[in-house]
Amino acid sequence: MNQVAPDTLSEHAGATSSETGREIILEVTDLKKYFPIKSGVLFQREVAAVKAVDGVSFKIFQGETLGLVGESGCGKSTTGRTILQLYRATSGSVKFRGQEITSLKGTSMRKMRREMQMVFQDPYASLNPRMSVGRIVGEPLVVHNIGTKKEREERVAELLKLVGLNPYFVNRYPHEFSGGQRQRIGLARSLALNPSFIVADEPISALDVSIQAQVVNLLEQLQDDLGLTYLFIAHDLSMVRHLCDRVAVMYLGKIVEIAESEELYTNPLHPYTQALLSAVPVPDPVVEEQRQRIILKGDVPSPINPPIGCNFNTRCPVAVDVCHEEDPKLEEVLPSHWVACHRVV
């Protein structure tokens, strides 16, 4: 388990000098995912591409939670799904414990899937309505042909207990549960194979606020008990601050800033991050009164045809000429604090 691969610790975005001692569980390098737009009656040709993820690089360390935030349509979910190879990457590399997984196929890919699982956003769509809870949670075991029928049943009961559900529920169907309970079922399913890495794709945004805390606490508890590593995709910034060790901010398919959670919230450097954080309400009337919102003008440009240069230049309040010419690189401007902005350096 503890195979540290020092040679994979190349000087790339996300890795910091102070963290070289920690084991990297996942390394994403220049990952791109373009969705082709086709046209034509019978023989379709590609006329354009939606650049959903356009050159994303980061690392996730063993046992940490990396938050991935950004507004709708910026490519957060696509990044998560491409890492899990639910989408085939257009280019770039994803290394899990030093092993390249974008090229894996068939049996070796299936084996790799035992290590990395996903929790989905919509608890109503992520459970097959025609399957009982027992079958849903036990499905990974069946797919990987683990254990006998009886052993699988025991494991399912154990998993249900683990996520705080009554094991009596095995014969019930998803529609009989509330959103929070369904999310627990989805969590139990993703834990069935004992994965070490979980992509949580907005696991709480479809839940009631009162239930959100329960599920977040459960995620933290499971992380402590099972030593899980999370990629936590969200747009609720205060929840991310609470849960994540480090946070990456995405805009239009690119990462604009990565930093330790506290550092990012107290000292945001990228103008987009600043705007994003200024939108978070503060539960203190005095502070709230003085809060200055940075209102960005215009809309997010189309990912089919992103702007030349820095892709934030159409809305950036501090953009200068160079921003329209050159794409800024993600650079470490402070220890463990990486920003892609011409104006910060």
Partner 1 sequence: MAVAEGAEPISLEEESIHKSANPWADAWHMFRRNKASVISLITIIVIVFVAITATFWTKAGLIDARTGAKARHTINPVNQTAQDAYPDPGICARDGQGQNPYWCGWLDDESLAVVQDRYCFRAAPDVNQKQWCYVLGGDSQGKDWLSQTIYGAQVSLSVGFVGATMALLVGLVYGVISGYYGGRVDNIMMRIVDFMYGIPYLVLVILLQVFFTEIAREYQDSERGGFVGFVLDLNQDMGGLLFLFFALGVLSWIGMARLARGQVLSYREKEFVEAARAVGAKDRRIIFVHLLPNIMGPLIVAETQQIPGYIFTEAFLSFIGLGVQPGTPSWGAMISEVRTRGGFFSNRHILLVPSLALVITTLSFNFLGDGLRDALDPRLRGT
Question: Under the rule (CB under 8 A), what is the footprint of partner 1?
Answer: 41-42, 44, 81, 84, 86, 109-110, 113-114, 117-118, 120-122, 125-132, 139-140, 143-144, 158, 161-166, 168-169, 171-173, 175-176, 178, 181, 184, 186, 189-190, 193, 213-214, 217-218, 221-222, 225
Q: Taking the complex as a whole, how short is the minimal distance between the CB of residue 83 and partner 1, in angstroms?
A: 11
Closest CA to 117 of 144, 135, 90: 144
Q: How far apart are the first and last CA of the chain?
A: 39
Determine contact, residues 53/82, Cβ cutoff 8 Å: yes
Q: Taking the complex as a whole, how short is the minimal distance between the CB of residue 113 and partner 1, in angstroms?
A: 4
Q: SS3 for 191?
A: helix
* E strand segments, 239-330: 246-251, 254-260
Chain center to CA of 57 = 13
Residue number with CB closer to partner 1 (113 or 246): 113
- How many CA atoms, within 13 angstroms, populate the side-chain half-sphere of residue 160? 23
Q: Taking the complex as a whole, how short is the minimal distance between the CB of residue 36 and partner 1, in angstroms?
A: 10
Residue number with CB closer to partner 1 (18 or 221): 221
Chain center to CA of 317 = 28
Residue number with CB closer to partner 1 (152 or 337): 152
Q: Taking the complex as a whole, how short is the minimal distance between the CB of residue 166 and partner 1, in angstroms?
A: 4
How do beta strands 24-39 and 197-201 pair?
A: unpaired
Q: Taking the complex as a whole, how short is the minimal distance between the CB of residue 178 and partner 1, in angstroms?
A: 8
Residue number with CB closer to partner 1 (189 or 270): 189
Q: Taking the complex as a whole, how short is the minimal distance between the CB of residue 88 and partner 1, in angstroms?
A: 12
Residue number with CB closer to partner 1 (138 or 268): 138
Please report, for residues 125, 161, 162, the alpha-carbon distance to residue 151 in angstroms, rounded to integers and kept in the order given. Answer: 28, 15, 16
Task: Give the DSSP letter of residue 98.
Answer: T
Residue number with CB closer to partner 1 (104 or 334): 104
Q: Taking the complex as a whole, how short is the minimal distance between the CB of residue 7 and partner 1, in angstroms?
A: 29
**Could you tell me which residues are beta bridge partners of residue 95?**
27, 100
Residue number with CB closer to partner 1 (60 or 222): 222
**Could you tell me which residues are beta bridge partners of residue 199?**
118, 231
Q: Taking the complex as a whole, how short is the minimal distance between the CB of residue 301 and partner 1, in angstroms?
A: 26
Residue number with CB closer to partner 1 (190 or 261): 190
Determine contact, residues 341/282, Cβ cutoff 8 Å: no
Q: SS3 for 246?
A: strand
Residue number with CB closer to partner 1 (42 or 295): 42
Please report, for residues 121, 130, 157, 209, the alpha-carbon distance to residue 134 in angstroms, rounded to integers and kept in the order given. Answer: 21, 12, 8, 28
Burial class (CB in 10 A: 0-12, 13-18, 19+), 205: middle
Neighbouring CB atoms inside 10 A of 198's CB total: 25
Q: Taking the complex as a whole, how short is the minimal distance between the CB of residue 25 and partner 1, in angstroms?
A: 17
Phi, psi of 88 (to 5 degrees): -80, 125
